[in-house]
A and B are shown apart, each in its own frame.
Chain A
Amino acid sequence: MFPVEDDTCVLRLEDVTKVYSGIVAVRHANLALRRGAVNVLVGENGAGKSTLMRIIAGVEKPSLGRILIDGEEVEFHSPADAQRHGIGMVFQELNLFGNLSVAENIFATREIMRGVRGIDHRAQVEKANHFLDKLDAGINAETLVEDLPIGQQQLVEIAKAISLDTRILILDEPTSALSAAEVDVLFKVIGELKAQGVAIVYISHRLEELMRIGDYITVLRDGQITGHAMVRDIDTKWIVRSMIGSDAKDFAKSVDHRLGEEMFRAEDICLPRKTGGLAVDHVSISVRAGEVLGIYGLMGAGRSEFFECVMGQHAHATGSIRVGGVEVADRDTSRRIREGMALIPEDRQREGLVQALSIASNLTLASLDRFVRFGFHIAGEREQSAIQSAIRDLAIKAPNPDFEVTSMSGGNQQKVVIGKALMTEPKVLLMDEPSRGIDVGAKADVFRTMRRLAGEGLAILFSTSDLEEVMALSDRIAVMSNGRLVAVIDRKDATEEMIVKASAEGHKTTRELAQ
């Protein structure tokens, strides 16, 4: 099943198995990583990709099996062990200290010292800036990590991994919060590392990325390795087929239903930036019942900030919101949710999930009122059946809904966040990068659900950095750039070139307001 050993192979996993309480995450896996190449790993949500990589990075110990580096067996007791062997990893769920600066994060555990005079902060910042510039990140190394949006945090993680100067670099969905421009830069950097002989492991659910960057591809299914090929011999269809066992379901096309009255209107939303200027710059937009509005933009375009303003998360934002023609006066989030708005946040760990609660409790957390009897008693059966149907509808891979939510793979956690928002039965649904980290099959499920909800009269706004997605799903496409709404285009008239051009156009003055 896997190619014969040759001298390009730096690391091999032999017959590795990993079991967690309740499930076998990886089953007898054999894997070879080649130096100077991008080794791509694909598989459905929960297939075991992250687990396999965490084993290589020393975070998890394999229950069975061996790890060989340069033909010699090694055993990692901690990530530090793995690092000593030249293995670095960017984790799917970011691992940064929010209360420390970017530079401190990058050099955590290997601070640059000036002897007894302690940490040389200036040198750290300088070096950190060097790595960040390499990624074109536009981040100052002295900012606190918690002040960065998730996309930039992802870049910090990548910079940190690159700065380790590793022989094996594992990137677990490094681009899930990045937009096209950053991905291009990252690929350039990956190209350089490859030329230096680094073995790179790349995991992503964006198939066209895999085709662009990959050299070898390995397919995982239900914890087992089921396929291995050279990327140049295959196409995306092959990937999908070997991943989910059938051809990709098409993205749900808009069924022709009549649009209703205006359901949502945002008027003149402004949000000042800490550093001066506006993060959201006089954005006005309206969405009708049954309409799906896609908001496209590059990183930092102000999409998430716009959604946050709409949800009332920024006290100093200005502008007004109407739902169903009625002005929403309440400024705090929970009241706005009660007014019929729901947000699927971009950062699932920070804002989407309560990690200590079970999968089931997370799903129903926002909609407990629906299951209440006599005004206070949660009716168990009603809640259970709602949970079961959410798990079915979104194909959440949950061995037991009473397990903690963190015991699931990243993509499945994302589905829980989506399921939670859908259960609130909102009138206006805001989805900030809803497809972050979910596999192609699940994406189709989510998109179909979105379509169905629109058919039932919801107004849906979703943001994405994926061109194909925004083209396939939206009734209208709004493009944001540098905090401003630069264009609103009907899907019929939209072309990819128009959208890409508009998204880069932040500094020009052309501006159409949505009506």
Chain B
Amino acid sequence: MTTATTTPDATDVSSGSVLLTLMKLRTFIALFAVIAFFSIFAPNFLSTANIILMSKHVALNAFLAMGMTFVIITGGIDLSVGSIVGLCGMVAGGLILNGIDLQFGFTVYFNIVEVCLITLAVGVAIGAINGLLITKLNVAPFIATLGTLYVARGFALLSSDGQTFPNLVGKPELATTGFAFLGSGRVLGLPVSIWILIVVALAAAYVAKYTPIGRHIFAVGGNERAARMSGIRVDRVKMFVYMFSGFCAAIVGLVISSELMASHPATGNSFELNAIAAAVLGGTSMSGGRGTIGGTIIGAFVIGILSDGLVMMGISSFWQMVIKGIVIIVAVVVDQAQRRLQQQVTLMQLAKKG
């Protein structure tokens, strides 16, 4: 073959692979695109204050989305996370403000660390209830978590008759002060919630890649029957992912009430949808078996920056919804296109080689 004929082919192939690389990095590119766009069109977008504010918003969704990613990888869904956020906020607020009333004149108060631990335990427990419904009683994940969505929200409202628990500063004599640290504290210049996010995200990514339970999560989502036949304790794996999802939601409940220093029972309404969107945007497959924590975090950033940036540009919240929806759909379409293109590119490359 002469060089004259091979050259155009070669550029053809390489342009294909460039496109392919671009598509593989699409979530990154989307992230840079939104950042670039808003830094031009939204004033003060790149100011440190704004970046920190935005990352705090993003962190909330990112927590939920991580829990959601594991759940979706096993082939399930967790609709209850928004309600768990609300209920856990109320648990923390109630414990700080009122303690637990033991009816006959005594009230037990917990110190702030205990309050946080109890709140996390509540989140994990609701996750465990989801898990039990799904594994032991064979309720479809969509229905089971839809049920707990209502139940948890109902209890959140009941806990205060729909009122807000205000002013959670706590009392020094009860050691309940310092709740604000979680939401507005800084360590080395970064908000505490971001540090927590980093720790949890690294742990989750590690679990996904380097531990048996992580591998099992993918196996269960890929082919539950084969997973069971390989000796994987499928029920345990499912319990784990729903409990982890509840845990993440509890963290968000704590962080939000700490930021506001108040807990409101309607907090977290429809957060689950944002979490699902972030996971899908990050490449998690709704049919199970595929997904990464890293992708999900980036997905959460794209969604978070998009909403905040649109707010800063003063775009109406109605348009914001339209735009967010379009971005999600486009992301999934690109995902499909990438798969097709990938095949074609390798095909061309190999066809040339021999």
User: Measuring CB to CB, which residues of chain A are less than 8 angstroms from any residue of chain B?
Assistant: 17, 19-24, 63-64, 311, 333-334, 337-338, 342-343, 345, 350-357, 361, 365-366, 368-369, 372, 376-378, 380, 420, 424
Complex alpha-carbon distance, A19 and B351, angstroms: 7
Q: Whole-angstrom distance from the CB of A78 to the nearest CB of chain B?
A: 15
Inter-chain CA distance A334–B227, complex, in Å, is: 9
Would you mind naming 21 contact pairs between A and B with Cβ atoms under 8 Å apart? A17-B351, A20-B346, A21-B346, A63-B351, A334-B228, A334-B234, A337-B231, A343-B229, A350-B223, A350-B225, A352-B226, A354-B226, A354-B227, A356-B218, A356-B290, A357-B218, A357-B222, A365-B215, A377-B210, A377-B211, A380-B210
Q: Which residues of A contact B216 (CB under 8 A)?
A: 368
Shortest Cβ-Cβ A-B pairs, 5 listed:
A337-B231, A356-B289, A21-B346, A354-B222, A356-B222
Which of A337, A353, A378, A424 contacts B211, CB < 8 Å? A378
Which of A22, A334, A350, A356 contacts B232, CB < 8 Å? A334
Q: How far is the CA of A338 from the CA of B236 in the complex (A)?
A: 15
**Smallest beta-carbon distance A417→chain B, Å:** 9
Listed residue (A366, A369, A380) with the most chain B CB atoms within 10 angstroms of its CB: A366
Asked if A355 and B225 sit within 8 Å, CB to CB, the answer is no
Q: B212 contacts the other chain (Cβ, under 8 Å)?
A: yes
From 307 to 345 in chain B, residues with beta carbon under 8 angstroms from any chain A beta carbon are 342-343
| A18 CB, min distance to chain B CBs, angstroms | 9
Known interface pairs A345-B229, A366-B231, A424-B231; A354-B346 also in contact (CB < 8 Å): no
Given the contacts A354-B289, A378-B210, A63 and B347 also touching, CB distance less than 8 Å:
yes
Report chain B residues within 8 Å CB of A357: 218-219, 222, 289
Docked CA distance A355–B225 (Å): 12
Counting chain A CB atoms within 10 Å of each CB, the highest count among B211, B229, B354 belongs to: B229
Bound-complex Cα distance A357 to B215 (A): 9
Point out the residues of chain A lying under 8 angstroms from B232, CB to CB. 334, 365-366
| B221 on the A face (CB < 8 A) | yes
Q: Which residues of A have CB within 8 Å of B221? A: 356
Q: How large is the interface on B (under 10, 10 to 19, 20 to 34, 35 or more residues)?
A: 20 to 34
Contact A351 B229 (CB under 8 A): yes
Known contacts A19-B347, A19-B350, A378-B212, A354 near B218 by CB under 8 Å: yes
Are A352 and B229 interface neighbours, CB within 8 A?
yes
Q: Are A376 and B212 in contact, CB atoms less than 8 angstroms apart?
A: yes
Question: A19, A380, A420: which contacts B230 (Cβ < 8 A)?
Answer: A420
Our pick among A24, A338, A361 for the contact of B218 (Cβ within 8 Å) is: A361
Query: CB-CB < 8 A to A354: which residues of B?
Result: 218-219, 222-223, 226-227, 289
- Chain B positions within 8 Å of A21 at CB level: 342-343, 346-347, 350
B223 A355 Cβ-Cβ under 8 A? yes
The winner among A20, A23, A357, A378 for most chain B CB atoms within 10 A is A357
- Residues of chain A within 8 A (CB-CB) of B225 are 350-351
Give CA–CA (A21, B342) in the complex, Å.
Answer: 8
Residues of A within 8 A of B347 (CB): 19-21, 63
Provide the bound-state CA to CA distance between A21 and B343, in Å: 7
Within the complex, what minimum Cβ distance (angstroms) separates A246 from chain B?
A: 26
Give Cα A356–Cα B73 distance, bound, in whole angstroms. 11
Complex Cα spacing A22 to B225, Å:
30
Query: Is B233 in contact with chain A by the CB < 8 A criterion?
Result: yes
Check if A366 sits within 8 Å of B230, measured CB to CB.
yes
Q: B212 to A369, Cβ gap below 8 A? A: yes
A355 with B222: CB separation less than 8 A: yes
Contact between A24 and B219, CB atoms less than 8 A apart = no
Q: What is the CA–CA distance of A311 and B232 in the complex, to the nearest angstrom?
A: 13
Kindly state the separation between the CA atoms of A378 and B218 in the bound complex, as whole angstroms: 15
